[in-house]
Structures are given as C-alpha cells and as structure tokens.
Structure 1
Amino acid sequence: MLSFSRTIGLCILLFISQISVAQRAVNPTTDSLPSRDPAIAATPAGVDKNELKYSLNASGTHFIKATFLNQAWLRVNQSNPGSTVIQEPNTSTVDIGLRRTRMQLFGQLSDHVFIYFQFGLNNFNYLNGGFSPTATSNRKVQPFFHDAVGEYLVFKNRNLLNIGYGLTIVNGLSRFSGPSVATIMSMDVPVFAQATVDQTDEFARKLSLYARGQVGRLDYRIAMSDPFPIQTSGAALPSYSQNAQFALKGHRKQYQGFFMWQFFDREAHQTPGYNTGTYLGARKIVNLEAGFITQQQATATTVGGDTLYHPMNLWSVASFLDMPLNKTRGTAINAYLGYFSTNYGPNYLRFNGIMNPASGIAAGFPAGTQGNAFPMFGTGSVVYGQVGYLMKRNLFGSGRGTLMPYAQAQIATYDRITQPLGVYNLGVNYLINGHNAKFTLDYQNRPSYRADGNLFTPAGRRGQLTLQYQLFI
C-alpha cells in the first residue's frame, strides 16, 4: 500500500496530467453555462448544442428531453481508527467508484402536463454499498428509479401553481435537500441536509403530494409526504434505547416546505424540486431562504422499560448568492451560509460515510464509525457555508476552460458529541466545458471519534483526497 502522502502526490499529478490531456482533447468555442433548467447544464447562444431534446410542436414549448450523468471518483482516504477492509485492518484505502450515474427523461407534454423520470445508481465501489463476511449479495441490482412524478400546471405558461405527486425529491428544509447534482459548485453536496436519506426515504426521494410555484419574487414548495418504514431501508433494524431511533411502530405523514425570496433574477423552475448549485455567472442570484420538515411520532426511545415517541422537527434559514463579477472576463462568485436546527428526538446521532471505502470496524471500536464516517446527522444544530470563485473565461487559452476553486465548512453541535464537529473541504474545479465536462480535486479534513459512555469524544482528525471526473449531457 502506498503511503498516504505519496498517494496524495500521485492524485495531484494525475489531476494536472488530466488537465493537460483535456486541453488538447476538448475545444468548444466557449465555456458552457447552465440553462434555465436546474437539472441540466445547457448552452448559451452561439455555442454548439449540447442537449438531447425532441420538440413535440413547432414552437418547441412542448418537448421531451433526455440527460445522462456520470461522476467517477478516484480517492485516497485515511481510515478512522479500527477500520477493516474485507476483514483485514487497514489505515488507508485507495478506491475507484461511481458516485452517481443517472439518466433523466422529462418533458412538457402539453400546456398543462409535465412529466419527470430519473433512473440510476449511487455509491458504487468495490463494496457496492456493503459487505458481510457471512453472506453474499448481488452487485448488479443497485440501479433504481429516483424520481417518477407527473405535474399539472394550473395556469398556462405561468409557474404560479403547479401540482404534482409521485416519487419526487421535492423537499423542505433547504436548497441542498434537493440539489441539482450536475451543477453543484463543490465536488459533493452537504448530505446532512438530506435529513432522512435512506432511512425513511429513497435516496432523499419520497412519495409526495406537493404544490410549488413562483409568485412575484417568492419561490415556494409545500408537500405532504408518505415516509417509508425503517424496516424497508435494507439495513439492520435499530434497537430502542435512551437514544432516539426511527420508530418501528406506527405511520405518520410528513409535512415540509421550502421558500425563497429572490431579490434579483429568478431561479430556474422547470424540473420539480431541484435547485441549481451554480449558474457560472449566467445569472444574478441573491436569495433569502427558509425551510422545514416535521413529522409526529417519527422516532422513539425507551426509558424505564417504557417506549416514548418523539416528533421530528427540522428547520433552516440561509442566504444564497451566485452572480457575475466581471461579465467581460467571465468571473463570478458563489456563496452560501445557512443555519440548521435538527431535532430528531433525544440524543439522535447517525454516523455516515459517503461511498464508504471500509467494510467493517474492529471489536472495541464504536459500530458504524469505520472508513470515512463521521456524525453526519444528529439532534442539535449545524452551520454550513461555502464560497467559490469562478476565474476568467478561457483561463488556459481559447476553448480550454477555466478553474473554480472553492471552500466548504460544516460545523455541528450535536447532543451526543462532547465538542462541536468541524468538517472542512478545499477544492478546485477544472471546467473543461462548463458543467458538461469537468474535473474536481477535493481535500476533506474531518474528525474521528471514540466512545465515551453514551457520548462521543474526538480522537484525532483524518483526511480524504478525491479526484472526480464528471461528464454530463
């Protein structure tokens, strides 16, 4: 196994070499920018067409579109204490995986009818999402429908009120609870904002009835969701204790809403629920945002042999900015700052590692803390911020793209951790052709933890370096 420092150096050299190769291989007339649709990265006037669209009428107002996305990761990770890989102790890992591979089909079938489907897989590495030394699994069964929803536009050619239901990512809480992953500025989204991901939803999607629209400068969405029981999550069932877990009994509806006040340009509003990460300077966006999710008797604890049920109440307030700085040079800035109140019930805490490269944890270490996991979800509060700077257009010469460096910080105070959690990311995008073809090099620094009775105490910090190659049309 290569040392961690040598592997970091290798990844950096690979990133530089990929920039050189891509500069020779790709030669668009200019950098692509996202369109009005937050789920796709289309092209401004004068640039080659880069979307798969079939018009259903002469004006093109009725249409069908298809998109394809692949985000491949090459990663080196310093493992948390006690991590094992296929039953062997391992202090670091190098893995290749598919963070997301997706296909979308959506369209405006008539003046009042819109459909949206998304199919694909997530977190596909050599473990394929899990490993058991005593059982086998099938690595070929992971792709699934993420979205399948129909929408009725009440007012022709106006987004005042759109009503839909089905399997959808229309969410409350925040813009990152329903992110357009093809257009995000950073390599990955702050997953804690997808608050019940794969617990009582399907990869942040829920069976919901919703209404959404734009009235003046107000963009709104409200939904009633039918959460999945935790028994269908595919994971081992939780055991009740003094620490809240999702309830094993009962079924209550979930209610949520998200609202944005848009001071300048209005954001894209075509596909249901998805929020653009960055418009790469194509729009002047300054928003104030707020959202919530609430569900009665969502979680449970046991006290003195009695089972107590607790509501889940989550809310956030945030500001979002994405705007050009110098239109002639093509520079732009992206910034977000949000506060999240996350009440899942007493002492709720969930460790999670994105596409975790470790398969297990040694005896004597807290369960679920292997690999790159950290306390991602918990009862308490979170402050999340990000900032990025889009450098001048054609930084490397005509048709050779530009760079967008960024920084992220997630600072959380949860009931069961003894000190505030801090997870920090620094990265840079090489935008070969806008969001349609880009490399992202990202370094994450996170805390590891040891058990201290019912609490968790920091036990040092670990690093992770990832090179992502995104292709999207």
Structure 2
Amino acid sequence: MKKVTLLLFSITLFSSQFLFSQGSPDYGGGLKVKINEDGSKYFRVISWAQVQATYNDNVASDASNLNFNLRRARVLMFSQINKKFLILTHFGLNSLNSGTMSPVGKDEGAQLFMHDVWGQWSLGDSHAVGGGLHYFNGISRLNNQSTLNMMTLDNNRQSWSTIGLSDQFARHLGVFAKGKFGRLQYRVAINDAITNGLDTRTPTNGGDAVYGGKRLIGSKDAGKAYAAYFEYNLLDEESNFLPFKVGTYLGTKKVFNIGAGFFLHPSGSVIADLSGNLIGEDVSIFAVDVFYDAPLADDGSAITAYATYQSNDYGKNYKYSAYGTGSMLYTHLGYVFAGDKTKTRFQPYVSYGSNSYDALADNLNVFGIGTNVYMSGHNSKVTLEYLNKKTGPSKTGTITLQGMIYF
C-alpha cells in the first residue's frame, strides 16, 4: 500500500525556551509572565494544534481518499513561584477525526484528557523530586522525546515502548527524582502501572504472554513499574529543567551524550499454563544510546546523529501492535547545509530501524529518507519524508509532506 499524506499545518502558540530548543534567531523568550520584578517568579503558557489532511490511494471503493485529522491539540502551563517548587499541567486531545467526533462533544474520541500534571520540589541546585502524572521516562532519549523539535518527521514508533501498555500516552502516575552529578544527568521513577491497558486479550492455555498483569493477577504482584535513564554530557550540558528531549539543535549547541536506561514491570505480562493457571512474566526493557549534535564550521553547517540498541522482553513470545519481545536497532543522521541562520536552511536526513520479534520469523525493517526546510528554526519548517516498512514479502511505502509553525 502506498500512502501520500499532506499535513496542512501545525500551529503552536506561546512556546518556551525551557521546554523546546528552537534553533530560531527570531524566537526570543516566548510567552513568560513575570510575577515579580526580577522574573524569578513566573508562569508560562504553551498551546499548539496539529491538523492533517491525508490522501490514501488504497481504500475501499466506497471510502474517500482524502480525510482530515486533528492530530494534536494541547495546552501546557507551568509555574515557578520560587526556586523550591514548580507545578506543570498539560492537557489536550489526539487524533480527532470524522469517525471519533461526537455530535455534542461528549463521546470518547472528543474528550480532552490530562497528559501531564506534576508537582516538583527542588533539593538544592542540582536535584529535585516530584510526583503526579509525569513524563520522566526511562529506557532511552527517544522514550523522552519532545514532539516539536524532532529531526525526523516523527519519533521512531518502537522507542515509545510502553504507550497504552503500562501508561497513559507515554505518561505514568507515580513519583520521580531527577538531577545531575557534575556532567552525569539522571531521572528515576516508581509508578503505578495502568490497570486497563490496550492489550485486552485473555491468555490461552500454553500460549504466548499478554500484557495485562495488573488486570489479571492484581496490583499486589503486578502494580508497580520502575524506570530510569542516565546520560553523560561529554560536551555542552543539556538542560534537564523539563523532561522533554531535543531532537536537533541545528548547530546552536555542541552536544555529545552517551546514555543508558531501563524499564521494569514485575509480572507485567501473564501467561497461562496448560491447566489455565495464570503466571506472571516480568517485563524488562534495556537500552543504550548515543547522541551527537554540533556545528561543523562557522558557516551554519551542522550535523545531528543518533543511534540506540534496545532489548525488549515483554514476556514469552509477546507480540501486540508495534511491540514484541526481541530487540531493536535504530539510527538516524542529518546534515544542515551551510547558510545564513536568519534565512531558509535545509537539512536532509536518513533513518533506519530493524526490529526483531521472537514470535515472528521476519524482522520489521524501516527505512526513511527526508529533508527539513527551516524558515525560522523549528518555529517554521516544512518536512518531506519517504518511509518504507518491510516485513518479509510485505512492504508499505509512505510519502508525507508536513508543515509546522509555532510561536
């Protein structure tokens, strides 16, 4: 199947330098409302919407080739009344289309929901603890990825490794600690796993694992999940003020980080023996990664490179949607051509991912090639990408044109 997707526009209002690194000469400080004269007490408000128009040339004879989708609509606000505590609230909806709309805005698809709500308390200048619905994830950089400054068109899907299985849209409800020891940054969390995840299957006797431990065997044995990510900043230090990781700095920083992380969910999955007795299977995901982003000269040229290896154990022969027990190798590489930073700049890139699954004979291999056209850093850009997915003899090719503007 071939699909040509036109993302008409993606508008983000009132963004923040702390939240997203823009690489834009025009951005400034975004919207920041000072509560006192020196600005140490403040709040910020961020709002964005992403709207898609999709053309698919392989649909049923009675279906339209052209469809529209409100991919994301979000409002985020965080406030710092003093240096000791911060509160962040982030709500919105995702993927509202003609099939999920409600006549009076009340059905499931039309509902707003909380993405993040957490409070954070500082423990000195370098460490903090917090709790709530949060995005301080483990595993890898891409499992903590911001969605507004990615280098590729979208994040590598398998890197968001627990969406809907143990969490709510990549967010867990729990407590976290984050900070740094010199150049070593860390984030660790203890969370309640979601009870009613996307995997609603019932284990078959002698069959494969199902990700439903808390639902099927209870919270005593399967209720908690543990996550951590550690990274060493060899060159410029990145901000860890908020959890969202930058995809590409466009040469505005010189970053070289080595990271490692994990996610553990004891008895997160369940199998049934031949007699039908349910047995918990531990979910364990580990990854190592490396990120490099730096200018190549004073002419505006820059390179962005990333690579990760991830070991995924969701239980015996687990396979559901994009996820499965096995391993993943993923990498991408981009190059910003030399040019005036105040004018249009071009960044071609390539990406490749190979996913193995114990339950399948063939790997899922994903190859992407594309280019970003930056009019004002990440604040105004157009992306064209071709993505090819191949599993055995099955192939899927997608061409996507995306326009993004946010302020």
Give the TM-score, by structure 1 length: 0.76
Letter in 2 for 1:255: Y
How far apart in 1 are the matches of 2:27 and 2:171? 34
C-alpha offsets along residues 379-428 of structure 1, whole Å, 9 cap, x if unaligned? 00000111111122348xxx542121111111011111112210111111
Letter in 2 for 1:145: M
- Residue identity (%): 29
Letter in 1 for 2:22: A
Corresponding residue number in structure 2 for 1:244: 209
How far apart in 2 are the matches of 1:169 and 1:200? 13
RMSD value, Cα: 2.8
Corresponding residue number in structure 2 for 1:153: 122
**Aligned in 2, Cα 1:75/1:426: closer, same or farther, shift over 3 Å?**
farther
**Aligned in 2, Cα 1:96/1:394: closer, same or farther, shift over 3 Å?**
farther
- Please point out which of 91, 100, 103 is paired with 1:119: 91
Q: Could you say what secondary structure the match of 1:245 adopts?
A: coil
- Please point out which of 365, 371, 383 is paired with 1:422: 365
How far apart in 2 are the matches of 1:50 and 1:348? 46
- In structure 1, runs of 5+ residues without a counterpart are 19-33, 131-135, 352-375, 449-457
How far apart in 2 are the matches of 1:225 and 1:99? 28
- Please point out which of 49, 54, 65 is paired with 2:28: 49
Asked if 1:460 corresponds to 2:403, the answer is no
C-alpha offsets along residues 69-94 of structure 1, whole Å, 9 cap, x if unaligned? 23333334566xxxx66xx687x954
**Aligned in 2, Cα 1:406/1:42: closer, same or farther, shift over 3 Å?**
closer
Corresponding residue number in structure 1 for 2:37: 58
Corresponding residue number in structure 1 for 2:129: 163
Letter in 2 for 1:243: D
Query: Whose strand proportion is higher, 1 or 2?
Result: 2
Corresponding residue number in structure 1 for 2:328: 382
Q: How many matched pairs?
A: 391
**Aligned in 2, Cα 1:129/1:184: closer, same or farther, shift over 3 Å?**
farther
How far apart in 2 are the matches of 1:441 and 1:311? 40
Corresponding residue number in structure 2 for 1:199: 165
**Aligned in 2, Cα 1:102/1:161: closer, same or farther, shift over 3 Å?**
same
Letter in 1 for 2:328: V
C-alpha offsets along residues 236-293 of structure 1, whole Å, 9 cap, x if unaligned? 721213121112321221111100011011111211x211111111111001000000
Matches within 5 A, 1:225-304: 225-230=191-196, 233=197, 237-241=200-204, 242-247=207-212, 248-249=215-216, 250-251=218-219, 252-271=223-242, 273-304=243-274
Alignment check: 8 A CA contact 2:24 2:376 kept: no
Alignment check: 8 A CA contact 2:131 2:174 kept: yes
Alignment check: 8 A CA contact 1:222 1:258 kept: yes
How far apart in 2 are the matches of 1:236 and 1:321? 36
How far apart in 2 are the matches of 1:341 and 1:262? 23
Shift of 1:57: 2.3
Matches within 5 A, 1:62-73: 62-73=41-52
Q: Could you say what secondary structure the match of 2:366 adopts?
A: strand
How far apart in 1 are the matches of 2:76 and 2:110? 19
Shift of 1:40: 5.5
Letter in 2 for 1:65: R
Corresponding residue number in structure 1 for 2:54: 75
Q: Could you say what secondary structure the match of 1:177 adopts?
A: helix
How far apart in 1 are the matches of 2:311 and 2:56? 30
Alignment check: 8 A CA contact 1:78 1:464 kept: no
Letter in 1 for 2:134: T
C-alpha offsets along residues 104-135 of structure 1, whole Å, 9 cap, x if unaligned? 111322011111111122233333399xxxxx
Q: Could you say what secondary structure the match of 1:65 adopts?
A: strand
Corresponding residue number in structure 2 for 1:221: 187
Corresponding residue number in structure 2 for 1:314: 285
How far apart in 1 are the matches of 2:54 and 2:84? 45
Alignment check: 8 A CA contact 1:413 1:419 kept: yes
How far apart in 2 are the matches of 1:402 and 1:127? 38
Q: Could you say what secondary structure the match of 1:192 adopts?
A: helix
How far apart in 1 are the matches of 2:256 and 2:336? 17
Alignment check: 8 A CA contact 1:262 1:285 kept: yes
Alignment check: 8 A CA contact 1:72 1:468 kept: no
Corresponding residue number in structure 2 for 1:471: 405
How far apart in 1 are the matches of 2:403 and 2:252? 23
Alignment check: 8 A CA contact 1:75 1:467 kept: no
How far apart in 1 are the matches of 2:239 and 2:48? 19
- In structure 2, runs of 5+ residues without a counterpart are 10-14
Structure with bigger RCO (C-alpha 8 Å, 6+ apart): 1
**Aligned in 2, Cα 1:277/1:173: closer, same or farther, shift over 3 Å?**
same
Corresponding residue number in structure 2 for 1:138: 107
How far apart in 2 are the matches of 1:167 and 1:439? 32
Letter in 1 for 2:403: Y
Matches within 5 A, 1:312-461: 312-326=283-297, 328-351=298-321, 376-394=322-340, 399-447=342-390, 458-461=392-395
